[in-house]
Amino acid sequence: MPAAPPATEQLNLRVSEGQTPSAPFESWGRYPTYGATVIPLHWQNDFSAIAPSLLNGALPVGMGRSYGDACLLKDGNLLVTTGMNRLITFDPETGLLTAEAGITLAQILDFAVPRGFFLPVSPGTKYVTLGGAIANDIHGKNHHMAGTFGCHVTQFELVRSDGTRKLCSPMENPDWYAATIGGLGLTGFISWATLRLKPIVSRLIDYEGIQFHGIDEFLALTDESKDVEYTVSWVDVTSTGKNFARGIFMQGDHSAKRDTLLPSPKPKLVFPFDAPGFALNRLSVSLFNAAFFHKQFSKHSVAVQDYEPFFYPLDKVLHWNRMYGKRGLLQFQYVIPWEHAKEGTVAILHEVAKSGLASFLAVLKAFGDVPSPGMMSFPKPGITLALDFPIKQDRTFPLVHRLADMVYEFGGRLYPAKDAAMTAMQYQAFYPQWQQFARYRDPLLTSSFWERVTGETSGI
């Protein structure tokens, strides 16, 4: 082994010798962008084999669909898992699927849907990996019924950089199970996991869309649709006055009518280039929002549609994030507990509207009270809102910091998977259990997010 470089060098250069030079790796928000050494992993044992040579810090990453820096490690080693996408076993009786952690939800759907099974929880894109879904303990439109993704992960293998392997389940190593679900990739490398799929008889979704005006109407609709499996709302964050907090409440159930379960067609549209900065201004966003609102012509509409457009409307345009240009976007997602959910949401929507900083897609949903198994999981009962802001010098960050402070005052917290801006103080206030969690961290693994919000640095 070569002699350790001087301490100053260690700080600046985490790249180990003999590896490919640093290449830019973008997360979905395209902000920030850091150089990193990208190391593809193809087999379950690759991590154990290379860990000893990665002296200066590493992070497993999946599809890089986190928005900010939770899937980045500046000048470090990014272990890309997407080559580890094999199935291991599937039991059609129980719906238990065991697969390598780099498999994507899209690949799982391609396998499962024709066999009459579906994901127990799905995010707004199917291009995320099983490992990434566990590490962020993602949530979907059925959170009020199904809880988070982690609720359906019955076991997984965690490989530590010292070569030890732990089988984790609610029964075995339950503390490691809890730390790793929502553990931001920091507790070890997930090599494979078992997920409980749920049976369906059709690809179709019985869909209903309802216009609402204001948070009261949103809450009333939420209440009425408690027994509908999937609910989510789109809200217009650009309008004020009588249109303030208008939106569309969307709900659906898997169709019970036996129907075709054919595989999905491949996506075709690709957003081909970086949009110039001027394409995304207040006017275009308002126009987009108005068009979206009025696409829902009547106050109420009913349809039967394929699960693809229902769950993944944005996946039809691969790389739609390029719409925001090279500077990228900031995402911001909070949850505020019921106690202050309404006043908090109204206050935040006012602040956003007043700022005039556009947001294309604002997604509003009520989280239910199914507890997450994860120690650091983001969801809790209350209202969640996800917003995105194009990055504009001097304006976006102050607004986002202001909003984060408001979220804290209302007793809520922010979602690390969608963050590139919260301060260390804010994070530590949102997740006071972070120090307890930090004891489970693998000494080799760290992320730019973790270093930013804790001040801890990496490396062994």
Partner 1 sequence: MTDRQNSTTPRKILVLGATSGIAEATCRIWAAQGASFFLVARNAEKLAAVAADLKTRGASFVDTAIADLDDTDKHPALLAHAINSLTGMDVAYLAHGILGDQTHAEQDFNTAAQIIHTNFMAPVSLVTWLANFCVQRRSGTIAVLSSVAGDRGRKSNYVYGSSKAGLSAFLDGLRNRVDREGVKVVTIKPGPVRTAMTAGMPKSEKFADVDAVAEAIVKAVAKGKDTVYVPFQWRGIMFVVRHIPERVFKKLNL
Binding site for ligand FAD (CB under 6 A): 28, 59-66, 70-71, 81, 101, 123-125, 128-129, 131-133, 135-136, 138-140, 184-185, 189-190, 314, 417, 447
Residue pair 364/233 in contact (Cβ under 8 Å)? The answer is yes
Q: Is 21 in the site for partner 1 (CB under 8 A)?
A: no
| Minimum distance from residue 335 beta carbon to ligand FAD (Å) | 11
Q: Mark residues 34-53: x for contact with partner 1 by CB under 8 A, - for none.
A: ----x-xxxxxx--------
- Of the pair 131, 374, the CB lying nearest ligand FAD is at 131
Partner from partner 1, ligand FAD, none contacting 78, C-beta within 5 to 8 A by type? partner 1
Q: What is the rounded CA–CA span in Å between residue 442 and residue 60?
A: 12
Q: Is 153 in the site for partner 1 (CB under 8 A)?
A: no
| Minimum distance from residue 89 beta carbon to partner 1 (Å) | 6
- Of the pair 62, 239, the CB lying nearest ligand FAD is at 62
User: Which residue, 358, 390, 396, 127, is CA-closest to 274?
Assistant: 390
Residue with tokens 């907090």: 245
Q: Is 412 in the site for partner 1 (CB under 8 A)?
A: no
Rg (CA), the chain: 22
| Minimum distance from residue 85 beta carbon to partner 1 (Å) | 9
Among 19, 26, 198, 429, binds partner 1 (CB under 8 A): 26
| Minimum distance from residue 354 beta carbon to ligand FAD (Å) | 26
Site residues for partner 1, 297-336, by CB under 8 A, read none
Q: Between the CA of residue 127 and those of 66, 104, 109, 242, 262, what are the distances in Å?
A: 11, 6, 11, 38, 19
- Of the pair 76, 140, the CB lying nearest partner 1 is at 76
- Of the pair 76, 124, the CB lying nearest ligand FAD is at 124
Q: Is 239 in the site for partner 1 (CB under 8 A)?
A: no
Q: What is the rounded CA–CA span in Å between residue 398 and residue 389?
A: 12
Partner from partner 1, ligand FAD, none contacting 41, C-beta within 5 to 8 A by type? partner 1
Q: Is 156 in the site for partner 1 (CB under 8 A)?
A: no
Q: Is 155 in the site for partner 1 (CB under 8 A)?
A: no
In 10 A of CB 363, how many CB atoms? Answer: 18
Q: What is the rounded CA–CA span in Å between residue 100 and residue 157?
A: 10
- Of the pair 95, 412, the CB lying nearest partner 1 is at 95
Q: Is 15 in the site for partner 1 (CB under 8 A)?
A: no
Among 50, 87, 370, 429, binds partner 1 (CB under 8 A): 87
- Of the pair 136, 231, the CB lying nearest partner 1 is at 136
| Minimum distance from residue 55 beta carbon to partner 1 (Å) | 22
| Minimum distance from residue 124 beta carbon to ligand FAD (Å) | 3
Q: Which stretch binds partner 1 (CB under 8 A): 75-83, 198-206, 239-247, 287-295?
A: 75-83
184-222 residues labelled b (16+ CB within 10 A) or e (exposed): bbbbbbbbbbbbbbbebebbbbbbbbbbbebbebbbebb
Residue 195, beta-bridge partner list: 97, 153
Please give the size of the binding site for partner 1, defined by CB under 8 A. 25
Q: What is the rounded CA–CA span in Å between residue 170 and residue 175?
A: 8
Name the residue with the smallest CB distance to ligand FAD: 185
Q: What is the rounded CA–CA span in Å between residue 333 and residue 363?
A: 9
Amino acid at 240: T
Partner from ligand FAD, partner 1, none contacting 185, C-beta within 5 to 8 A by type? ligand FAD
| Minimum distance from residue 61 beta carbon to partner 1 (Å) | 8
Partner from partner 1, ligand FAD, none contacting 417, C-beta within 5 to 8 A by type? ligand FAD
Long-range contacts of 227-231 (CB under 8 A, 24+ apart): 228/252, 228/253, 229/141, 229/142, 229/145, 229/253, 229/254, 230/140, 230/141, 230/142, 230/205, 230/310, 231/141, 231/144, 231/365, 231/366
Partner from partner 1, ligand FAD, none contacting 66, C-beta within 5 to 8 A by type? ligand FAD
Q: What is the rounded CA–CA span in Å between residue 130 and residue 386?
A: 22
Partner from partner 1, ligand FAD, none contacting 133, C-beta within 5 to 8 A by type? ligand FAD
Residues at the interface with partner 1 (CB under 8 A) = 23-26, 38, 40-45, 64, 78, 80-83, 86-90, 100, 102, 111
